[in-house]
């Protein structure tokens, strides 16, 4: 069959696959995995070349969260033993950010636990952003502070924030099984507030929480409709002491198929390889660079990541290069839309070109998923259109709700960064 050739052609035209095609990617056999990676890699290289953007997390406030997100070590009533502390001072956060910038990070992500910031918190984070920008003029700053209230996105943008992160995490249908203290709609609203304020939106997912293939496709198509500029793909770290501690559903092969599906659905978006990559991809991490054009450098919020020097060596050994601050990450049509609209790339105006939108506007995911109309929008500067080998697609995907045979449940004696020390994560 011509599935992969079709998906490459659509990706180069910024045309969405159908839901059936996206599901077929997740259902491909391990024997066909390299063909899937090669196909999605053509789309990745067409829009982003061989560049890898580095991002660095600074945890401004750890634990003490009133929300009950089942995957999170900082959740209400957490017994995970993570280090808990209130707000870092602006100079402390700036020093922590400097470590990431020194390692090559182009974006610093400022994260704080909690339902959402108070106005006083926004002022505090604004001073932190200004402190970082004073020392590192060219660095991008992304804030991740939870649900925003009216006017807060604009204040963050005025303080110098370039982007705002708020992940959808999972499908709308299953969201209530993961979190009960806020809704999926709350998250969508916050992403749209960030876009309306002129910030670049960052929103992604967590795979491995027991979701089905249909759930994964649902959330990725919802992200396409929402149209963030960057989509972080996290793989659940089953931390002891959380309700999802026993959820071991991922293998390296499944992680690669998920990344490939995201790339096909959102071809011209910054796809970020995020939390859990070291645990679940393991020695196949370099293959993931053919799918994602962005990674986190070093540690995460409450768990340790791969050593930064090992990340840099992996990128070089795989034949990729670290993206410099003098390079625009996004393809020209997205970067120009972000600069011109003043309302975030893919803001939902009638004339705005969405993530891979065919012809103009961000179609609802149901419409986009069934569109067979050829796209008339800008094509990538580098057309890598050589045919790819078709992969045989099984009639049915394996159940996602049972632990995969190759899943390793012995890997997370979870290293809780800072636990038992005076050092906050990434400080």
Tokens standing for residue 1: 């069959």
- Mean of the pLDDT values across residues 224-249? 94
Q: Any catalytic annotation for residue 142? A: yes
Radius of gyration (C-alpha) of the chain in whole angstroms:
20
**Looking at the predicted structure, is the pLDDT value of residue 350 above 70?**
no
Strands 163-165 and 140-144: parallel
Distance CA 53, CA 329 (A): 7
Distance CA 21, CA 296 (A): 29
The catalytic position among 109, 144, 266, 345 is 109
Q: What is the pLDDT of residue 342?
A: 61
User: At 169, phi and psi to the nearest 5?
Assistant: 75, -55
Report the sign of the C-alpha dihedral through residues 266, 340, 153, 349, in that order.
negative
- Position 391 confidence tier, pLDDT thresholds 50, 70, 90: very low
Q: By three-state DSSP, how is residue 30 classified?
A: helix
The catalytic position among 14, 44, 65, 416 is 65
- Position 416 confidence tier, pLDDT thresholds 50, 70, 90: very low
Assess contact for 66 and 114: CB atoms under 8 A.
yes
- Position 379 confidence tier, pLDDT thresholds 50, 70, 90: very low
The catalytic position among 19, 72, 187, 355 is 72
| Percent of the residues in the chain that have a pLDDT greater than 70, as a whole number | 79
The catalytic position among 13, 69, 192, 254 is 69
- Position 388 confidence tier, pLDDT thresholds 50, 70, 90: very low
**Looking at the predicted structure, is the pLDDT value of residue 127 above 70?**
yes
The catalytic position among 202, 255, 266, 345 is 202
User: At 222, phi and psi to the nearest 5?
Assistant: -65, -40
Q: By three-state DSSP, how is residue 263 classified?
A: helix
Per residue in 88-118, pLDDT tens? 999 999 999 999 999 999 999 999 999 999 9
- Position 339 confidence tier, pLDDT thresholds 50, 70, 90: confident
Q: Report the chain's mean pLDDT, rounded to a whole number.
A: 84
Q: Look at 411 and 413; give whichever has higher pLDDT.
A: 411
pTM: 0.84
CA 174 distance to own-chain centroid: 19
Closest CA to 82 of 419, 424, 411, 340: 419
Q: What is the pLDDT of residue 228?
A: 98
Per residue in 255-277, pLDDT tens? 999 999 999 999 999 999 999 99
CA dihedral 250, 252, 283, 169 (to 10 degrees): -60
Q: What is the pLDDT of residue 324?
A: 94
* Other CB atoms within 10 Å distance of the CB of residue 326: 7
User: At 294, phi and psi to the nearest 5?
Assistant: -155, 140
Q: What is the pLDDT of residue 76?
A: 83
Q: By three-state DSSP, how is residue 287 classified?
A: helix
- Position 1 confidence tier, pLDDT thresholds 50, 70, 90: low
Q: Look at 9 and 415; give whichever has higher pLDDT.
A: 9
Distance separating the N- and C-terminal Cα atoms of the chain: 51
Distance CA 418, CA 415 (A): 9
Assess contact for 294 and 230: CB atoms under 8 A.
yes
SS3 per residue for 179-221: CCCCCHHHHHHHHHHHHHCCCEEECCEEECCCCCHHHHHHHHH
**Looking at the predicted structure, is the pLDDT value of residue 231 above 80?**
yes
Distance CA 330, CA 337 (A): 10
CA angle, 374 then 261 then 328, to 5°: 75
Name the one residue in this structure whose structure tokens are 């992500």: 109
Q: Any catalytic annotation for residue 65? A: yes
Complete DSSP assignment for 367-421: HHHH--SPP-SPPPSS------------SSPPPTTS--TT--TTS-S--BTTTTS
Tokens standing for residue 85: 């502390």
- Mean of the pLDDT values across residues 140-165? 98
Q: What is the pLDDT of residue 387?
A: 33
Q: What is the pLDDT of residue 78?
A: 78
The catalytic position among 13, 75, 124, 142 is 142
Per residue in 8-19, pLDDT tens? 999 999 999 999
| Max Cα–Cα distance, the chain, nearest Å | 58
Q: Any catalytic annotation for residue 272? A: yes
- Mean of the pLDDT values across residues 190-197? 97
Most confident option among 56-70, 296-310, 339-353, 355-369:
56-70
Q: What is the pLDDT of residue 272?
A: 98
The catalytic position among 13, 157, 272, 334 is 272
Distance CA 320, CA 308 (A): 16
| Percent of the residues in the chain that have a pLDDT greater than 90, as a whole number | 70
Q: Any catalytic annotation for residue 257? A: no
Per residue in 28-42, pLDDT tens? 999 999 999 999 999
């Amino acid at each position: 069959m011509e599935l992969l050739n079709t998906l490459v052609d659509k990706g180069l035209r910024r045309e969405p696959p159908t839901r059936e095609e996206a599901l077929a990617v997740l259902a491909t056999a391990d024997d066909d995995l390299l063909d899937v990676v090669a196909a999605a890699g053509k789309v990745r290289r067409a829009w982003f070349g061989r560049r890898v953007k580095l991002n660095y997390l600074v945890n401004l406030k750890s634990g003490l969260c009133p929300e009950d997100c089942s995957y999170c070590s900082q959740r209400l009533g957490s017994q995970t033993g993570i280090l808990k502390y209130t707000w870092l001072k602006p100079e402390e956060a700036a020093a922590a950010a400097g470590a990431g910038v020194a390692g090559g990070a182009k974006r610093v992500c400022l994260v704080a636990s909690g339902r959402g910031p108070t106005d006083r918190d926004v002022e505090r984070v604004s001073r932190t952003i200004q402190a970082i920008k004073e020392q590192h003029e060219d660095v991008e700053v992304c804030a991740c502070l939870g649900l925003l209230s009216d006017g807060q996105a604009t204040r963050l943008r005025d303080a110098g924030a370039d982007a705002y992160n708020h992940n959808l995490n999972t499908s709308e249908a299953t969201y209530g099984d993961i979190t009960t203290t806020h809704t999926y709609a709350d998250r969508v609203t916050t992403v749209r507030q960030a876009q309306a304020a002129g910030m670049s939106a960052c929103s992604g997912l967590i795979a491995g929480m027991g979701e089905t293939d249909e759930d994964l496709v649902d959330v990725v198509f919802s992200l396409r409709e929402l149209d963030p500029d960057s989509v972080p793909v996290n793989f659940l770290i089953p931390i002891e002491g959380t309700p999802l501690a026993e959820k071991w559903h991922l293998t390296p092969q499944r992680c690669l198929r998920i990344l490939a599906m995201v790339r096909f659905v959102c071809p011209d978006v910054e796809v970020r390889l995020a939390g859990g990559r070291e645990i679940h991809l393991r020695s196949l991490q370099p293959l993931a660079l053919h799918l994602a054009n962005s990674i986190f450098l070093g540690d995460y919020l409450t768990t340790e990541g791969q050593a930064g020097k090992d990340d840099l060596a992996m990128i070089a050994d795989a034949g990729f290069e670290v993206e410099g601050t003098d390079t625009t990450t996004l393809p020209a049509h997205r970067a120009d839309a972000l600069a011109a609209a003043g309302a975030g790339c893919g803001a939902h105006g009638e004339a705005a070109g969405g993530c891979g939108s065919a012809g103009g506007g961000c179609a609802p995911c149901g419409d986009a998923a069934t569109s067979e109309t050829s796209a008339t929008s800008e094509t990538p500067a580098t057309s890598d259109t050589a045919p790819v080998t078709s992969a045989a697609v099984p009639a049915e995907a394996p159940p996602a709700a049972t632990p995969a045979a190759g899943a390793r449940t012995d890997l997370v004696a979870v290293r809780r960064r800072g636990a038992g020390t005076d050092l906050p994560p990434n400080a």
